[in-house]
Every structure is written in structure tokens, then in C-alpha cells.
Chains A and B, each alone.
Chain A
Amino acid sequence: MDATQRRTYWRRNLRLLAILLTIWALVSFGAGILFVEPLNEIVVAGFPVGFWFAQQGSIIVFVILIAVYVTRMDKLDAEFGIDEYEEEVHHS
């Protein structure tokens, strides 16, 4: 990668992080805590929705967020021709 490619790679990585972390904050601090009271007015399958986000939904979304991250990063790496993974060094 030359300097321009590196800058593009990094900027796209940061944009992905910004989107995923916004969702991360919205489901946990948003739906689970700040807006829990209005959301609790809605009940689905026995669960008040705010309570469900706090105890189930946010955890499920977290797993999905990391899944999206790893697949998007795989694509990004491929696009920039990074494939030397197995050779990464490890030493004191």
C-alpha cells in the first residue's frame, strides 16, 4: 500500500467504527436505559420492549455488530490486497 491507499484504508476503517459504535450506544444506553420508560409501554411476547433491550436485545445486537465488523474488514482487506495474515510476527 502506498501513502494514499493507506489513508483511504484507515478512513474507511474509521467510518465503519463510527457507524457500529453509534448503534452500540443506541441499543444499550439508548433503548436499554435512556428511553426505557417509553419503550416499556410496548409489550411483545410478554416482554416490555425497553426491558427486553436491557436484558436480551442489546446483547444480541452486540454479537451482530462484531459479525458485521469482521466481514466488512475482510472485504476491506481483500480490496487493498492484504492477504499475508498467517505470517504475522510474534516475539518478545
Chain B
Amino acid sequence: MSDIQLWTLVFVILTFGTYIVVAYRSRVSTTSGFYVAGGGIPAPANGAAIAADWMSAASFISMAGIIAFAGNGYGGSVYLMGWTGGYVLLALLLAPYLRKFGKYTIPDFVGDRYNETARMVAVVAAIVVSFVYVAGQMAGVGLVFTRFLQVDSTTGVILGMAIVFFYAVLGGMKGITWTQVTQYSVLIVAYLIPAVAVSAKVTGMPVPMVGFGQILQELDALQTELGIPEYTAAFGSTNMLNMVLITAALMFGTAGLPHVIVRFYTAKSVRAARYSALWALFFIALLYTTAPSVAAFSKLQIIKDVNGTALSDMPSWFNTWSEVGLITQANGSPISDLGANATVAYNDILINNDIIVLASPEIGGLPAPIVGLVAAGALAAALSTASGLLLVISSAVANDVYFKKINPQATEARQLMVGRIAMGGAILVAGYLGINPPGFVAQVVALAFGLAAASFFPILVLGIFWKNCTAMGATAGMIAGLGTTMAYMLWTIDIYGNGEGFFGILETGFGTIGMLINFAVTIIVSQFTPKPSPVMQELVEEIRYPGRSRLVALHAEGALDVEGDLDAGGTGGKH
């Protein structure tokens, strides 16, 4: 066993052991504990949990690589701005109000605010988006196990499933939240240490966010030499229209993703929900401001190491990753097809986006324990996101379908049992998808944001800020937004229609257009359909003000008849 394997094993056993202890100590026995951790998570902890939930295998493993290699460098900014800017929308427009509404799931809000048809559309959308996502996480777990521990990917996925099964089924949201707090700590340390070390080594400046400014000029010059647009050049890989549309789709999509929104229900109060959003973005920003520096340092080092070097003189990381097929020739054939004395040009090889972070300690020449730590961090990122998504699936099935539709008389113990069984089932499906990933997963994950932006965001915001938004308006808007976005994606995406599209709009950016269509349709249809009942209008009014209020309390207890008029529903109480 090599040093790297040994250290990886040490860190994996240590972190997995910690997760099990944390999960065992936060096991639950009530539905509110299972779905929303009893609504009793303090804001900083909730923020760390949201951050871990949010930062997936894609953020941890792939993002720096995408910034460095998918475009010229500047092009990757869409992800940096899109995946953080959405939190401003969440914090200001959704989180406090949804927390005041006090339900368990997004379909719950949609169903109560609008109607049962809308609830079912939301259930389906939430489950589809979550499964698409979770498949990617499980595949990420497999990748880390294969590379660092030399076990096959199936064994890796099964190990990951077993650990998630243990803490998610036992502890529900409470177990997941406290494990995610631990996982955030692991992943951020694992991300920052190599970045700080490399920055200090190359520039003498230990703060990577500041340090990478010093190498940008050199990187620009190298890329010009290689015939690639400069690293910092605006619109070197994506034009202005698409930069705007993709950034917006990712922002509004972030604010419409069910597994993120549900986290604000776990906050203690409206005020705690606001603070959770602040802590969450702060914790996320630590990684997101570091990622572009990892991208720049790695790209510089890789160009210097590889360009014009004979194959026999390559550094060891180059050989390890080309052996597993993640570094290939530009046409996709293996590096080993070249003779040992061949000289490699940077433009002749293709480096997979996923290896940049995993290889960055080796590329920077850091010792084996750090490599092991990064592997454990990647696992933490993948597992924490997977468990959050699985909870959305299980609560949609157990709460929105079983309890609200099939058996409203179910006892708490029975609901909890159904929730645990749904969780178990979801883990099995996720594991299967992780072992046999459908080829289009990577494509679809990027599109999931556009779909979330086009379906959920407008009806959530209008449902809160516009009392006269009607059920028919919202349903029509969701269908129109989702329908046009899906149609455009099927028409333009490479693996399906491969059409030209309008005005050169990329499929990843079309969600923004779909969202605008959704807003327009919802507003227009709402003008011509029956207004929400007076009680519902009053309820929407009440969620605007923090603090205990009678109507919201009645509604939460299920004692409010929203179809009735104001007197029957009773707003006589003091506000």
C-alpha cells in the first residue's frame, strides 16, 4: 500500500467514524424531527449544513477544473456568480417567508398556497430534480474510491450508500443536519489547505484569493502563446448574451431548488432563517472564492509541466491520471499510444475537469497526508449533498403523497415508518444510478438549474409577494415555463435534437427565458381567474410579518379552512 492510499484510508475511516457517532447522538422519534429537525437548529450550524448540502461533488471536485479548462478562464465566472448570487435572492425573497409559513416541504407550500394540482406538479418536479442530482453524487463517491483506494467503483458506491443509510434513516433531517455540519468542516479544511500551501509556495502570499492575482499576467501570456484567448479576457469562450443568461439561470435556479429551500424550514424562527442564509453564503463563499485561485494555479503549473515535455519526463501525477483515462490525447485516444520519447504539446492533450482538485496537492508537490485529506473532503461533499437530496425525496413521498393523499389518518409513528422506508428505497435507487450512471447525467445536472428557475422560482415569489396570484395562474405559469424550457433543451442539446436555437442562446441559459415566460403567463392568467379566498389572502399577508400570529398558527395546526370567508376562518385575533 502506498503512502497516499494509507493516508486516504486513515482519513476516510476517521471521518466516517465521526459521522456515525454524530448521527447516533442525534437520532429522532418524531415526524417534525425527521423532516425539519424539529425546527430547532441554531443559525450558524444550519448555515454550515446548508453549505455542505449545497456544495456537491460538482462544486468540490469539478468546479475549479471547469473554470480552468472548459473555457478560457473568465468563462467559468458564470458558475461562481450564479451559484452564490442565488443566495441573495433566497435570503431576501424566500427564506424568511417560507419559514414563517412553517411547513415541511416545497410541495407543501405550493399545495397550500395554490391547489392540489399544483402540489402534484411540484412533487414530481422535486423528485425528478433530486434524483438527477443524487446520481451525480454517488458517481462522485465511486470516482474517489477508485482513484485513491483502488477498490472498484461499485464497492465504493455501496460503502457510501451504507453510511448514508445509517445516518439518514436513523436521524432524518436532524441526523443529516448535524452530520452535514461535520462534513462541512472536513470539506472546507480539505479544500483550503492545499490552496493555501500552493499559493504560499508559488507567490509567497498565503491567502490564495489574493495570491493568484500575481500569476494572472504570466497565465495570460502563456495562453496567448498557445493560441488560446487570454485567461482573464472577457468573452473569450462565451458571448455576453449567454454569460448573462447562464448566470441568471443558475442564480434563479439556485433559489428554486427544493433541497436548498427546505433547509430554511429547519431554522428556529424567521430571524434564524435570515441568519442561516447569511452563514450559509459566508461558508460557501470561503470555497467559492478559493476555487478560481485553485483553477489559475493548477492551470499555470500544468501548462509549465506538460507543454513541450517528453513523455518519459512527465511528472508522476500525469502518469497516474493518464493510466485511468482521465488525461487523453485531444482526439480521445490514450496517451500510451504515443511513443515514450514523444514530446507533448498542451493543445494535443485533454485533461478531465474532475481531476484538478483531486490532483492539485500532487501537482503542487504536497505530501501524502494532504492528498488523503482531499479525498476525504471530496467524499464529505458528495455524501452531504446526497443525504440532503434523499431527504427531499423521502419527505415528498411520505408527507406529500402518503400522508396528504393516501392516508391522512396515519399516526405519527406510521408516517415516520413510511418516511424511513421511502428513504431506504431512495438510497437503493440512488445507488443503482451511481453504479450505472445514465450517460446524460452530467448534461442534465447543468440543465436542472434552468428547469428549477423556469418552474419554481416565479410561483414561489409571486405566491409570497402578490396576494392576488391565483392557483390557475401559477399552474399555467409552471407548465408554460417548464414546457418551453424543456422543449428548447431537447431541440438544441447535442445528444438529442442538436438544433441551432434562437439568437445562439445556449440550452443552459434558456431557463432564464423560461422563467420570464412563467412570470408573464402567471400574471396574465391570474387577472382572469377567480381570486384566492379572503382567508388565503389574509394568510399571505400574515407571513410578511415575523412573530406569532393567529392565522398562521391555525393553518399550521390544520384547523384553518382556507376556502371559507374571513369570519369563519377567524382573523379576529390581535395581530
Return the chain B residue nearest A68 by Cβ: B278
CB distance from B79 to the nearest CB of A (A): 10
> Once bound together, how far apart are the Cα atoms of A49 and B550, in whole Å?
51
CB distance from A4 to the nearest CB of B (A): 12
A82–B281 contact, CB under 8 A?
A: no
| B199 is an interface residue with CB less than 8 A from chain A | no
Return the chain B residue nearest A90 by Cβ: B39
CB distance from B571 to the nearest CB of A (A): 12
A82–B85 contact, CB under 8 A?
A: no
Q: A36-B234, A56-B209 are in contact. Are A82 and B547 (CB under 8 A)?
A: yes
A33–B278 contact, CB under 8 A?
A: no
Q: A54-B80, A55-B292, A90-B36 are in contact. Are A84 and B92 (CB under 8 A)?
A: no
Please report which residues of chain B, range 82-96, place their CB below 8 angstroms from some CB of chain A when the two chains form the complex.
Answer: 84-85, 87-88, 91-93, 96
> Once bound together, how far apart are the Cα atoms of A81 and B553, in whole Å?
19
Return the chain A residue nearest B75 by Cβ: A54
> Once bound together, how far apart are the Cα atoms of A87 and B214, in whole Å?
52
> Once bound together, how far apart are the Cα atoms of A56 and B213, in whole Å?
11
B274–A70 contact, CB under 8 A?
A: yes
* Chain A residues with CB under 8 A of B480: none
B232–A40 contact, CB under 8 A?
A: yes
* Chain A residues with CB under 8 A of B243: 33
Q: How many A-B contacts at CB < 8 Å in the complex?
A: 181
Q: A40-B232, A62-B87, A92-B104 are in contact. Are A56 and B247 (CB under 8 A)?
A: no
> Once bound together, how far apart are the Cα atoms of A70 and B353, in whole Å?
37
> Once bound together, how far apart are the Cα atoms of A59 and B209, in whole Å?
12
| B269 is an interface residue with CB less than 8 A from chain A | yes
* Chain A residues with CB under 8 A of B544: 6, 9-10, 13
B271–A85 contact, CB under 8 A?
A: yes
Q: A33-B244, A54-B81, A66-B281 are in contact. Are A1 and B545 (CB under 8 A)?
A: yes
CB distance from B50 to the nearest CB of A (A): 12
| A34 is an interface residue with CB less than 8 A from chain B | yes
> Once bound together, how far apart are the Cα atoms of A58 and B67, in whole Å?
16
Chain A, interface size: which category?
Answer: 35 or more
Q: Mark A15-56, 1 if CB is under 8 A from B, else 0.
A: 001001100100011001110110010000111101110111
* Chain B residues with CB under 8 A of A77: 271, 546-547
| B558 is an interface residue with CB less than 8 A from chain A | yes
| B114 is an interface residue with CB less than 8 A from chain A | no
* Chain B residues with CB under 8 A of A67: 278
Return the chain A residue nearest B212 by Cβ: A46
Select which of A9, A47, A69 is within 8 A of B274 by beta carbon: A69
| B470 is an interface residue with CB less than 8 A from chain A | no
CB distance from A19 to the nearest CB of B (A): 11
* Chain B residues with CB under 8 A of A66: 87-88, 91-92, 277-278, 281
> Once bound together, how far apart are the Cα atoms of A10 and B278, in whole Å?
21
| A86 is an interface residue with CB less than 8 A from chain B | yes
**Which A-B residue pairs are the 8 nearest by beta carbons?**
A46-B213, A54-B77, A85-B269, A90-B39, A89-B556, A55-B292, A84-B547, A51-B232
Could you list some 11 contacts between A and B, CB below 8 A? A1-B545, A54-B81, A58-B80, A59-B285, A59-B289, A62-B85, A66-B87, A70-B274, A86-B268, A89-B102, A90-B556
**B residues near A, CB below 8 A?**
31-32, 36, 38-39, 67, 74, 76-77, 80-81, 84-85, 87-88, 91-93, 96, 99-100, 102-104, 108, 209-210, 212-217, 232-235, 240, 243-244, 247-248, 251, 265, 268-272, 274-275, 277-278, 281-282, 285, 288-289, 292, 399, 403, 541, 544-548, 552-553, 556-558, 575
